[in-house]
Amino acid sequence: MEHHFSISPRILLHLGEDLIKNESIALFELIKNSYDACAKKCEIDFHFEDLKLTRITIKDDGFGMTKEIIENVWLIVGTDNKKKILEPNSCGRIPLGEKGIGRLGIHKLGNKITLYSKSIGNSEVEVNIDWDTLYKAQKIDDFKIDLSENETAKEFTNSTGTKIVIENLKTTWDRRQLREVYRNINSLNSPFTETNDTFRVITTSNNNVFEGLPNFEDIKKDALYFGHCKMEGKEITEFNYKFKPWKSLEKVEQGRKITLNDLLEEDRILKKYPQKNEFEEIDLNKSKIGSIEFDIIIFDMDAQILNFANSEKTSLREYLKMNGGIRVYRDGIRVYNYGERDNDWLGIDLKRVQRVGGNVSNNIIIGSVKLERANSFGLTEKTNREGFIENESYDDFQEAINYVLSLFVRERNNDKSFLTALYKKHRSVEPVLSDLNDLVSIVEKKVEDKDVKEEIVTYLHRINDQYKEVKEVLIKSANAGLNLSVVIHEIDKLINQLTGCIERNEKEKAIKISQMLEKIIRGYSAMIKKSDIKLNSLSKIVSIALDNYEFRFSDHSINIITNWKENKLQAYLAEAESISVVTNLLDNAIYWLTYARKSERYISVYITDQIEGYISIIVSDNGPGFNIPVDVAIKPFMTGKPHNIGSGLGLHVANEMMNAMNGKLLFISDENEIEFPQAVKNNKANKAIIALCFPIQKK
């Protein structure tokens, strides 16, 4: 005996409740239907009676529906009428709705529904739905819907379109919820796109509930950093970054602009976040994503800077709290729920927590990602209308946006650092020591009791000395930690090679690798031993540092140009710390040579007395050079590396250690300042020049 499924009418209630998360998405689905109907305008009206919202009306001027379409399409749940349509309709639009369940969003909003629709050359159709009767129905066929044609049109006398009136609302809407829905409706179109004349959403009300809300154009004036780019295939094809200081920032002489031509050639290639220090390229065409446009504005919410903004600070903060983040738009219409407060889809806030300094947060940015539906079919929307299915194409999409975002943030960091230096109240290189000295002066002036004064000053001097000791230990520990990560990586590689040699019975090669392993361990030991400042040979420092990285140079096909063997120059330095600093610079050079994909790679380590008063180790290479200002490069947590990878401490620690040895770290921008050996010039290994200057006289 055959049986068949029967469906409870309550399934319609569950579909509406479960597939449509909230009222904003329900309205959004109805707006999408207007878009698919080639409407130029969709009006949403919120009607109040006695300060209570009683009716929501959605009306468009699209091509409307006939009685047959309503019967055979609109009233059939899950129809494939629009499924996977990638061809433009009569107005050139590719339909947004795919699953045929968006109309169930009406039930999310209210129980009494009246629909009017008129298409060209046909009578106006009226539909009345009372969802309350659904609760009483035993079978789906018991749920009756009133469908009729109006001989005399009630709503569309000389036009086409659809009007939906929703009453007996299911939610008691408060002011906060209404303003939230208003915000979501206004986010349907990208704020970075000029007014969309082909499709506009207009929100009205007979209540003042929406008055006084700030808009994007007003808020945008308070931003300082602006970015726009376009990605196609594997590359960034357009790139514009602007730092636009307000007139009130009088100390800033002018803004700054970066274009595609200013980027390193390698920076233009889209890359995933590196795994094991290796970048993997992204191909948007292969992932069926098509071209992407990305716009962003970044605000500076630091009080010392924000005080110069000509705006109401509380309103700005509230607007960014509600609207901050990066949203996604396809064919000019928003894809929910990217950019909402509970969806950190790019991990922006997470990265800020995981890494100190150098990152932005969602509540200081407003961004827009634009896609073309016809070319982005690798990205499929989830049934519940909350973003894309998280497949390989989505992963590549996410990685591409994160990569370009990191380039904009890098440029913003440069300008923010410059701005902070101009306006920060305490611009001392040593802020803590400076504050302590200021405090001593205040105590000596303000405290009259001699005994109390002496006791407080004694404590402050003791704190000063202890701070210096703690800082010295932390700097050395940080440097050891930076080098340790590299050493562990190299040892791991060599152990794997040694294991392979032993398994293949390659005795001579196994002995050679064992010797190299011992040399690396010995070299690292030399870096972490405590050493005093005394007269030392710079050749010894360079030779140990180069030996430490012998395997890495070979592994990355890097040629070394150096004069340490024939050099006898000496200076005052601490051996372990000096080896560590040179190793730090070598690690940087290896990274940038590898990143730039140079076919021939050269690093120069040159000992010279050309800088007066010092004997110097000058490290340079034939890589891309510096991509961030040198004064920014030595600040903690600042990096020029893509995806903001690394700790951003390398050059800062190197600079601090040189200062501790009474030396200095110099960035040399003009290659002609130093007379390099001919081999360095011939191989153009005079880029990214850093001089480690050690004093000739003991200080």
Give the per-residue pLDDT at 270.
94
The rounded distance, in Å, linking the Cα atoms of 440 and 73 is 82
Give the per-residue pLDDT at 426.
47
Tell me the longest C-alpha to C-alpha distance in the chain: 107
Position with higher pLDDT, 26 vs 3:
26
> If DSSP codes are grouped into helix, strand and coil, which group holds residue 648?
coil
Residue 89 contacts residue 39 (beta carbons within 8 Å): no
Whether residue 428 has pLDDT greater than 50: no
CATH ID of 431-695, from 3.40.50.1820, 3.40.50.150, 3.90.25.10, 3.30.565.10: 3.30.565.10
- Between strands 110-118 and 235-243, the pairing is unpaired
CATH 3.30.565.10 is the classification of domain 10-205:
yes
**Could you tell me the CA-to-CA distances from 415 to 146, 259, 627, 668 in Å, in that order?**
64, 15, 13, 21
pLDDT digits (tens, 9 = 90+) for 559-579: 999 998 888 899 999 888 888
Position with higher pLDDT, 676 vs 336:
676
Whether residue 633 has pLDDT greater than 60: yes
Give the per-residue pLDDT at 118.
94
Q: Record the pTM.
A: 0.71
Give the per-residue pLDDT at 261.
94
Could you state, in order of their start, the residue ranges of all structural domains in the chain? 10-205, 216-423, 431-695
111-125, 207-221, 555-569: segment of lowest average pLDDT:
207-221
Position with higher pLDDT, 635 vs 179:
179
pLDDT digits (tens, 9 = 90+) for 230-257: 999 999 999 999 999 998 888 888 899 9
| pLDDT confidence tier of residue 412, bands split at 50, 70 and 90 | very high
46-55, 138-147, 598-607: segment of lowest average pLDDT:
138-147
Q: If you average pLDDT over every residue of the chain, what do you get? A: 81
Exposure string for 467-500, b = 16+ CB within 10 A, e = fewer: eeeeeeeebbebbbebbeebbeebbeebeebbee
Task: State the alpha helices, DSSP H only, in 21-95.
Answer: 23-36, 67-69
Whether residue 172 has pLDDT greater than 60: yes
Whether residue 462 has pLDDT greater than 50: yes
Return all residues near 187 (Cβ < 8 A) that are at least 6 apart.
323, 327, 334, 339
Give the per-residue pLDDT at 429.
45
pLDDT digits (tens, 9 = 90+) for 291-323: 999 999 999 988 888 888 877 778 888 888 888
Return all residues near 292 (Cβ < 8 A) that are at least 6 apart.
230, 231, 232, 284, 369, 370, 371, 397, 400, 401
Q: Tell me whether the CATH fold assigned to 10-205 matches the one assigned to 431-695.
A: yes
Whether the bond into 337 is cis, omega within 30 of 0: yes
Two tokens, residue 677: 């050996």
Long-range CB pairs of 124-132 (<8 Å, 24+ gap) are: 124/149, 124/150, 124/153, 124/154, 124/155, 124/156, 125/65, 125/66, 125/67, 125/70, 125/149, 125/150, 126/150, 126/154, 127/70, 131/13, 131/107, 132/168
Whether residue 606 has pLDDT greater than 90: yes
Whether residue 472 has pLDDT greater than 60: no
